[in-house]
Amino acid sequence: MHIITKDFVHRIDDKLISADVALHARPFCVVIEWMKEKNITGDILDKRIWEPVMRIYKCLYPKGNFSIPSLMVGGVALRDAMYPVHINVAYGSFSIEPLRCIDISQSELEFIFQHYPEQGWRAFYGVCDLWDFGYGIDDLINTGSPARELLCNARSSAVATPRILSGADPDAAVQTACLMAELSIKASLTHLGWTGDQLKKLSHHLPKLAAELIKIRPARNDERLFHACSNFPNYVESRYASHGMTRLELMALSMRALFVASEAIRRISQCNMANEMEDRSDCPCRPVL
């Protein structure tokens, strides 16, 4: 069998970079191209091909991560800090323990529930929101929703917000948090038949957008959704002047935005973990946002 060369891997890898193929997927693509070029048939994971390819890739990218990435990496706030949440790819039937998705030590988590139980449960429901949001958007995109671009942009804002809040300069999170909420509602309205002109008339007015979504697709959390949407800063003004929010207030805003975004997506998808958890006898009601 022909041994794959570093020059071949390098050449195909450059093409894959130009095609915006993610690093974890590129070794598979290189192997397929090599097998085509050499008329090799059989298993693409044949170790005689796969192992040399991975050796070359690990040489090209010593710090590269070749594992399958999470479906989405978001975050939940506890006190004045943001903690990453990994929404992993899953297939078939599986069980989920929301708190295990948070990148936090068991001892710190126990401390939170002992001294700040409301924040612990808010984070718990935040993880559920991320599951509903991440999988809901993925399902909608894969089934051809007309709101694809809005959904993708909403997801990007949801990923960006916790990253910004994890840094030393969190002020820009106001923009991404507000966008996450607005784009998610607009995506839901678009999925339900609204036109771009209709959306433009409501501009960035979250309460009005929420009222229209509630009118078209009512659900159990209507009051909670409208109340949350009425408690956002004017993010157009905050682009040009200080919003005056503390880190603690920014964390609360991010969790509120995550709820609004996920609640909008729940109304047009089959994902509803948050409400299922809230219906359980061993889970308290979602804390006030």
Domain regions of the chain by residue span: 6-60, 72-278
Helices (H), 117-172: 117-142, 148-165
Q: Identify the burial level of 253 via C-beta atoms within 10 angstroms of its C-beta, where 0-12 means exposed, 13-18 middle and 19 or more buried.
A: buried
207, two tokens: 């309460």
* pLDDT score, position 102: 97
pLDDT at 125: 98
Structure-block tokens of residue 253: 């805003």
242-278 residue pLDDT tens:
888 999 999 999 999 999 999 999 999 999 999 999 9
| pLDDT category of residue 1 using cuts at 50, 70 and 90 | low
For 269, residues 6+ apart whose C-beta sits below 8 A from its C-beta are 132, 135, 136, 137, 139, 140
Pair 195, 211: CB distance under 8 Å: no
Digit-coded pLDDT (tens) for 136-156: 999 999 999 999 999 999 999
89 pLDDT higher than 90 = no
Model confidence over 270-281: pLDDT tens digits?
999 999 999 999
Q: Are 122 and 287 in contact (CB under 8 A)?
A: yes
Helix (H) or strand (E) segment spanning residue 87: strand 81-87
User: Alpha carbon of 191 to those of 60, 122, 143, 267: distances in Å?
Assistant: 43, 29, 11, 10
**What is the C-alpha separation between 119 and 101, in angstroms, rounded?**
16
What are the two backbone dihedrals, phi and then psi, of residue 20, each rounded to the nearest 5 degrees? 65, 35
Question: What's the one-letter identity of residue 192?
Answer: L
Cβ atoms of 273 and 130 closer than 8 Å: no
157-199 pLDDT per residue, tens: 999 999 999 999 999 999 999 999 999 999 999 999 999 999 9
pLDDT of residue 68: 85
Q: Is the pTM higher than 0.75?
A: yes
Residues 194-223 have a mean pLDDT of: 96
| 276/253 Cα distance (integer angstroms) | 24
Distance separating the N- and C-terminal Cα atoms of the chain: 62
* AA letter at 29: C
